[in-house]
Chain A
């Protein structure tokens, strides 16, 4: 600190308490000049004396002196231009040719809380994002019901609304890493999921009036998009908490999320939450849809594959630090929050443990904020950083259905390494002596 300069600033301020507009301008001009002097001088001073006045504080900022945008600009608000790197990303590995049967993943390293902004919600489709004219939207419900029905969008939205916060996760989240870590990135290692507050109607409410026939065991949900994405849902889930949703975080679904209406089967594989919905058919036998064959089945080492693999099991990850947001700027002795996400498609998160040695020994982390069923849950552990320490940060979550995340070894011993889907073994970040963060796995 250049003591003289700061002393003079204080004097100027206290000696003239009735600064008029022009005096104030002079004052800031002078201050700016002084601080430039201060900056120039500091390089010669020792480290402890090196604090200069921050130009971001000492200077006028451009936005502080000119008028801002009128409220008439951006009738639909958009993020600050400076946030342009907070975006979905994709990779050719996970794409069919031209990215129309593909996935763009969610920037978890920049995500806050337990709600994903609609523009950042991960986007996966099997034939590109369809753009549906809501006036031509029709939902047909037929098959083994006493009464078939066709609803327009307006009619569907007359039903009593239910609002729930749930994550949607692609069961291939982490599916590239059965044989070892592949992505040195939180966004790609865990970003095949997002979370939102959904609004719609319980299907059971509609069925109450339509009437299910006794042998209705399965429901086909089919989209109207290029791929006519379809999946078979067992009636138990339909009559429990499955919803037809049109609202996402307080507004209409985004086209990438199935505008105007998608199915929501809370906690279950994302692809079951069929987008651009057009038809629900009830039947006594399952439909063997295209995405229930080579895709979305988990091949075990026995050679048998799990089909109709519904719920995303209990899972967690450290989100801060991450490969994208390392600890390279931390000083010795800094108190730092290790923050993470935990989620389960089978219930509510009851606890998260954190390990500093790759899952050998654990301490109990702290849940925080809202803890909701089949929802992202934030957790925290306060850590005093020791410069040069090497850590293996591993988190492990539990849910109220009684499940706990397995180790990588425990999971692969049962399932093998060719399953692709539903990998929920514990994940590990290596923190290097320099504070860089790398994705590793602890396995035999």
Chain B
């Protein structure tokens, strides 16, 4: 979402197209010049790496196509409506953030219906999905210097409130990428409500006021949010000096843990510290590889036919039922399912359709009754 008036640019570009095609257009100097010009002028690359200029018709080992490479007339200008339909990003200064409002209370309601199955009670996380809050954000931010150098030490808390630099990211994320099984389905007001609930869970303040259970968030208040860890990142990426700041940062290897050395001066003997020892994998390490590692060359075991309900299970139900970390009975857990079957298969299906405990109706999906039955049957059969 950029700040200039789009209509102006569209109309201006309509006038200038002809000129652009003949003259080329990357004319501006310094910040917007082509990389060839920028780097050829002696600037180092922005990432600290090496730049391969075109020399004798080659860049590095590759021959470069030196024929005419401009003046293409493919494509068309998008309409203003088309740009508006896709240009949904929300920037820290509020560009792209629509009007609207939502309360913490409404947010909690939506959260309990659509989010809790992955992000856990009160944003505590679970099942591999990120935690959204872990206590007071201002206190949590102070843990970012924590280092788990021994097993008994606590690590840094990296959740929305303690770590993220900008709140705009959360609003944009919720509306474009959440809820995970059905993204881009929340209204602006719902997104404000969920954002308010996030701030509430993280015990954050806006303009000195605690986002308590009665808080109602709107655009004006949103723009006053100051994230506790806003200044916790390097290099600087804001403002007109940003690119030079980034370039300067990556020109110093120590900043990012890198090492430079002349090849002739590299260490070839006695290169480890005296204190360095052989550290082995502890407690078996991580070994739940799927499928288990094998280098055998034999014929595979034939797989059976596709089973009814399997696809729907995998795309809609496995989110919570793949293991027990979300509190749902895990598929394959015989004991759990035997217990459920005590109530009768029809009762299991009814609960799945109507919702039960932490599970929203139909698990938050729009599967038909018949498809729900197939999926439930599949889960029961897979747990015998």
Residue of B nearest to A355 (CB): B271
Contact B258 A403 (CB under 8 A): yes
Q: Is A240 an interface residue (CB 8 A)?
A: yes
A237 at the B interface (CB under 8 A):
yes
CA distance A348 to B59 in the complex (A): 12
Chain B residues whose CB sits within 8 angstroms of the CB of A190 once the complex forms: none
Residue from A180, A288, A313 in contact with B165 in the complex, judged by beta carbons closer than 8 Å: A288
Contact A311 B299, beta carbon cutoff 8 Å: no
Q: Do B25 and A127 have beta carbons less than 8 Å apart? A: no
Q: Is there an interface contact between A407 and B272, defined as CB atoms closer than 8 Å?
A: yes
Chain A hits for B306, CB < 8 A:
none
Q: In A291-307, which residues have CB < 8 Å from any B CB?
A: 292-294, 297-299, 301-307
> Looking at the complex, which one of A151, A235, A346, A430 makes contact with B74 (CB distance below 8 Å)?
A151
Interface of B is mostly: loop
Q: Does B41 contact A (CB under 8 A)?
A: no
Interface string of A388-431 (1 = CB under 8 A from B): 00001000001111111111111100111111001010001010
Contact residues in A for B52 (Cβ distance below 8 Å): 241, 373
For B238, the chain A residues whose CB sits under 8 A away are 285-286
Once the chains bind, are B169 and A293 in contact (CB under 8 Å)? yes
Which of under 10, 10 to 19, 20 to 34, or 35 or more describes the interface residues of B? 35 or more
A98 close to B (CB within 8 Å) = yes
Which residues of chain A come closer than 8 Å to B364, judged between CB atoms?
A: none
Contact yes or no, B233 A213, CB < 8 A: no
B287 lies within 8 A of A360 (CB): no
Query: Contact check: which of A297, A362, A440 meets B233 at CB < 8 Å?
Result: A297
Nearest chain A residue, comparing its CB with the CB of B183? A226
Measured CA separation A387–B252 after assembly (Å): 46
Take A85-B294, A324-B293, A347-B49 as given contacts and tell me if A148 and B285 are in contact as well, using a CB distance cutoff of 8 Å. no
Contact B39 A407 (CB under 8 A): no
Alpha-carbon distance between A373 and B51 when the two chains are bound, in angstroms: 10
Instruction: Please measure, in the bound complex, the distance between the C-alpha atom of A142 and the C-alpha atom of B269, giving whole angstroms.
Output: 55
Stretch from B77-85, B97-105, B186-194, B371-379 contacting the other chain: B77-85
Establish whether residues A230 and B89, one from each chain, have CB atoms under 8 Å apart when the complex forms: yes
CB within 8 Å for A304 and B232 given contacts A149-B78, A180-B281, A362-B271: yes
Instruction: Kindly state the separation between the CA atoms of A238 and B297 in the bound complex, as whole angstroms.
Output: 44
A119 CB–B CB distance under 8 Å:
no
Q: Check if A81 is an interface residue, CB within 8 A of chain B.
A: yes
Across the interface, do A181 and B25 meet the contact criterion of CB distance under 8 Å? no
Q: Hey, which chain B residues are within 8 Å of A304, CB to CB?
A: 232-234
Which residues of the other chain, B, contact A408 by a CB distance below 8 angstroms? 276
For the complex, give the distance between the alpha carbons of A376 and B173 in Å.
34
Would you call A353 and B276 a contact (CB within 8 A)? no
Q: Write out the residue numbers on chain A whose beta carbons fall within 8 Å of the beta carbon of B34.
A: 204, 239
Instruction: Compute how far the CA of A116 lies from the CA of B24 in the bound complex, rounded to whole angstroms.
Output: 38
Q: Are A235 and B243 also in contact (CB < 8 A) when A303-B145, A306-B234, A324-B295 are?
A: yes
Report the Cα distance A430→B277, complex, angstroms.
12
A162-183 residues at the B interface, CB under 8 angstroms? 162, 164, 176, 179-183
User: A442 an interface residue at 8 Å Cβ cutoff?
Assistant: yes
Q: Which of A18-26, A36-44, A89-97, A334-342 contacts B (4 or more CB under 8 A)?
A: A89-97
Which of A84, A92, A279, A308 has a CB less than 8 Å from the CB of B237? A308
Tell me the nearest residue of chain A to B39, going by C-beta.
A240
B323 contacts across to A, CB distance below 8 A: 92
> How far is B383's CA from A307's CA once the two chains are assembled, in angstroms?
45
* B76 contacts A149, C-beta separation under 8 Å: yes
Say yes or no: A290 contacts B177, CB within 8 Å: yes
Kindly state whether residue A267 has any CB partner on chain B within 8 Å: yes
- Quick one: which of A85, A91, A150, A228 contacts B75, CB cutoff 8 A? A150
Fill in one digit per residue for A110-127: 1 if any B CB lies within 8 Å of its CB, else 0: 100000000000000011
A222 interfacial contact with B, CB 8 Å = yes
Q: Are A236 and B45 in contact, CB atoms less than 8 angstroms apart?
A: yes
* Leading 6 A-B pairs by shortest Cβ distance: A211-B25, A346-B49, A214-B28, A303-B145, A347-B50, A239-B35
Beyond contacts A208-B24, A286-B237: 9 other A-B pairs, Cβ-Cβ < 8 A, are: A146-B20, A182-B281, A209-B70, A214-B31, A218-B242, A287-B89, A304-B233, A362-B267, A442-B276
